[in-house]
Amino acid sequence: MDRPVRTARSRSRIAGVDRTGPAAAGRRRTVPLARRQVAADAAAGNAAENAAESEYRVADRLFHAAIAAVTGGLSPISIAEAWHDWMLNLAVSPGKQRELLAKAIEKNARMQRFLAACATTREAPPVIEPLPQDRRFRAPAWQAFPFNVLQQSFLLTQQWWHNATTGVAGVSAQHERVVEFHSRQFLDMLSPSNFLATNPEILERTAREGGANLVRGLDNLVEDWKRLIRGERPPGAESFIAGETVAATPGDVIYRNELIELIQYRPSTATVRPEPVLIVPAWIMKYYILDLSPHNSLIRHLVAQGFTVFCISWRNPGPEHREVSLDDYRRLGVMAAADAVAAVAGGSKIHAVGYCLGGTLLSIAAAAMARDGDERLQSVSLFAAQVDFEEPGELGLFIDESQVTLIEDMMWQEGYLDQRRMAGAFQMIRSQDLVWSRLIGEYLMGERPPMTDLMAWNADATRMPYRMHSEYLRSLFLRNDLAQGRFAVDGRPVHIEDIAAPVFAVGTLTDHVAPWRSVFKLVHILDTDVDFVLTNGGHNAGIVAEPGNPRRAYRHLAYRHGTPHPAPDDWLKGADEQPGSWWPSWFAWLARHSGEQAVPGREAGGGRTEYRPIAAAPGTYVLQP
């Protein structure tokens, strides 16, 4: 079909002006002008409606931010929905109700038998044992009357509530986890170990010291409260200063942009391997967790193995960075650093290392590089990093639509999320270790544990930009876009399985942030060789596992692409535990994927003017409060 030819007359009508003559103009102009007035009125109405909607949304955001200030960032709606789901389904489950009644009667009978045994013998056998990880009642004093009655009654009650909050037909899996978690938190708060009058260890200490422990505990409480109000770090943290006692491995900042400083560490060997190592730490933490004191600095040990090591130090963002996106972290962080490292190393391929959230970002960058034919990565190492967020562990209890909306509105008001805002969630996950044991030890026993470099680092809080963290929570946690192949970089989706470089992945046995079974999924997702290491310890202590540490042990799986995939629990049962640090295994793995150590130690910036040293390590960004 031929296209109609537009004459000068037809074109003028499109523009709203008729130029066919004075008489015709007088007749025809009124209609287009009227239409334009209608359109203008409609546009004005839409603008007013949008403005009103915006005002309404602002009111919602402000109200949500006020709620978050009271609840510590936890959504009461999420918690209420979970309990509502549990109560309604329990109400229409007469079989479950009868089961719980039968269990209550049975536990009461066991308790009665225990009381009778206590009346006739000094050492009545317990009717229930604490879980292996529960250290609250291990002291012998808890086995004497009446404290044995208190702890046995508490443990039976705790077990009954676990039965009550799990296994109710019809309750969603997420809501069941939330209800069980919060009931456990409430019971942990009421544990007899938390109170002076019901804890025999505290009573014994108080009697022996004449109450001096309580005086010291009160002093500790007052000091902590004052430091909290002033925004100061905990007592003893001032002894760990970045650039002096921690983050002291010699190096130079060779590149800086608005988001990162790139540190190149000075060689400690005459020759180095041709492939440099680029470390991408998480920006939820200061980078120097990998460069703590000299004896437990992963970076210092890695440099001693003959590698040229580079590390990103992230800027601590403020309100002015509210619109920095997750892709900005990839582009200005990983890719900008990779460009600099490749230039300094003369084009040698790179060993890329990512820790925690930095490992997730590195996976995204590596997948995009593989998609685009960028072959600069020699290997990829991921420490306690997830790419599949379907099973994020107990941290997932705080991630649903209502919770994310509350966090977004809290960040919208401030422009960022402060790590202190997240501290409550992390402390709840490990309340026995991080809350109640501290209450007992520091405030009732009057004992302050000595400050360590890891504890001081943990108190060095950071922030995260509003837009980036919102994208991270929604795209990864809520929708799991990365594992599902929906996460887009430069407008096109990336696929983790495109990564062809060999991968070394580390999971930690008691990790509450990146559960090891979630990290183990890398063995199944990636279409390449994967060496998986499972080390004891948690998310941080398991990674900071220096050689010579007597409390460290690990298991190692060398999976080769094309062989049958092992199930995580089946592998765990048959894997031999090796004593000591996993670091030497990783160093050996890097060496196997590297050239000979024959390159002269590289000077800062590789002699290139654009990467000449700007400042000595640790730079300036890590010092930002």
Distances, alpha carbon 572 to alpha carbons 133, 508, 550, in Å: 19, 13, 21
SS (H, E, C) 216-258: HHHHHHHHHHHHHHHCCCCCCHHHCCECCCECCCCEEEEEECC
Distance in angstroms (rounded) separating the CA atoms of residues 139 and 151: 12
Encoded tokens for 438: 């501290």
Neighbour count for residue 256 (Cβ, 10 Å)? 17
In three state form, how does the secondary structure of 147-196 look?
A: HHHHHHHHHHHHHHHHHHHCCCCCCCHHHHHHHHHHHHHHHHHCCHHHCH
User: Cβ(110)–Cβ(127) under 8 Å?
Assistant: yes
Annotated catalytic residue, options 179, 289, 350, 356: 356
Collapsing DSSP to helix, strand or coil, 114 comes out as helix
Using an 8 Å Cβ cutoff, are 601 and 563 in contact? no
What SS3 state is found at 26? helix
Q: At what angle do helices 212-230 and 200-209 cross, to 10 degrees?
A: 110
For residues 65-94, b (16+ Cβ closer than 10 Å) or e, as one string?
bebbeeeebbbebbbebbeebbeebbeebe
Cis? peptide before 568, omega within 30° of 0 = no
Question: Where is 553: in which H helix or E strand?
Answer: strand 553-559
Q: Within the chain, how many helices (H) and strands (E) appear? A: 23, 17
367-375: long-range contacts, CB 8 A cutoff, minimum separation 24: 367/489, 367/494, 367/495, 367/496, 367/498, 367/499, 368/330, 368/489, 368/490, 368/494, 370/498, 370/499, 370/500, 371/489, 371/492, 371/494, 371/495, 371/498, 375/349
Describe the crossing of helices 401-414 and 30-71 by its angle, rounded to 10 degrees. 100
* Cβ atoms of 370 and 500 closer than 8 Å: yes
118 assigned to active site: no
Judge contact between 115 and 149, C-beta under 8 A. yes
Measured CA to CA, the distance from residue 370 to residue 557 in angstroms comes to 25
Instruction: Indicate the angle between helix axes 173-189 and 147-165, nearest 10 degrees.
Output: 160
Residue type, 335: M
Cα distance between residue 399 and residue 149, in whole Å: 38
242, amino acid identity: A
DSSP state of 516: H
If DSSP codes are grouped into helix, strand and coil, which group holds residue 265?
strand
Characterize the bridge pairing of strands 309-314 and 277-280.
parallel
Alpha carbon distance 173, 155 (integer Å): 25
- C-alpha closest to that of 329 among 256, 399, 258, 387: 258
Q: Which of 605, 555, 617, 614 lies closest to 580, judged by CA?
A: 555
Catalytic residues: 356
